């Protein structure tokens, strides 16, 4: 399959990104990032208002201040349809780092190196952005993602716990 990758620079494709996210998310994808952002109600349930929440978050991420900036890398097929997306939150401060907030692929294309291409391009670009390290978090049951990121040298540095009140 032929596809291209592009860094988005504005909100013109937000609706398409949100629809892609909602179509390709799974319950095992839910992690603390989805819970604290309001995208998920808990570790097993997506928020019924996910579309509105994600739309707002993506739109406001492009307009963020210099300390935090959303960068979205997409993969498109020959018809211009999104088949993969990777969302980075660049944090500038004492150490510049990036949080890999989300990485979703068209489920029918998994195992065809699309995720590898997206991640490698993002890592390469991060070096140009003077990023010291990349962080990510993943749902406890998302073992396929855990294996994928371990293969690329990511190391487990903590565990997250929650106490619902």
Share the mean pLDDT of the chain.
88
Distances (CA, A) of 85 to 33, 94, 96, 138: 17, 28, 22, 16
pTM value is 0.86
Per-residue confidence band for 66, with pLDDT thresholds at 50, 70 and 90: low
Question: Are 135 and 97 a contacting pair, CB within 8 Å?
Answer: yes
> Which of the two residues, 66 and 78, has the higher pLDDT score?
78
CB atoms within 10 A of CB 158: 6
**DSSP secondary structure, 83-100, as one string:** EEEEEEEEE-SSS-EEEE
Closest CA to 119 of 88, 90, 95: 88
List of domains in the chain: 3-151 (3.40.630.30)
Per-residue confidence band for 24, with pLDDT thresholds at 50, 70 and 90: very high
∠ CA(100), CA(5), CA(80), 5° rounding? 120
∠ CA(99), CA(150), CA(135), 5° rounding? 15
What are φ and ψ of residue 144, in 5° steps?
-60, -40
pLDDT per residue as tens digits for the range 85-114? 998 888 888 888 999 988 999 988 888 888
């Amino acid at each position: 399959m032929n596809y291209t990758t592009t860094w988005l620079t504005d909100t013109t494709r937000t609706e398409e990104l949100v629809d892609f996210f909602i179509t390709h998310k799974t319950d095992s994808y839910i992690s603390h990032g989805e819970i604290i952002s309001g995208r998920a109600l808990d570790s097993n349930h997506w928020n019924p208002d996910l579309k509105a929440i994600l739309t707002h978050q993506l739109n406001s991420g492009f307009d963020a201040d210099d300390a935090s900036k959303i960068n979205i890398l997409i993969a498109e097929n020959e018809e211009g349809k999104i088949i993969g997306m990777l969302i980075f939150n660049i944090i500038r401060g004492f150490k510049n780092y990036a949080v890999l907030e989300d990485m979703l692929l068209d489920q029918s294309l998994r195992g065809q190196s699309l995720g590898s291409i997206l991640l490698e391009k993002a890592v390469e670009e991060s070096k140009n952005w003077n990023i010291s390290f990349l962080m990510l978090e993943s749902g406890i049951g998302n073992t396929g993602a855990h294996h994928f990121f371990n293969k690329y040298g990511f190391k487990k540095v903590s565990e997250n716990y929650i106490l619902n009140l």
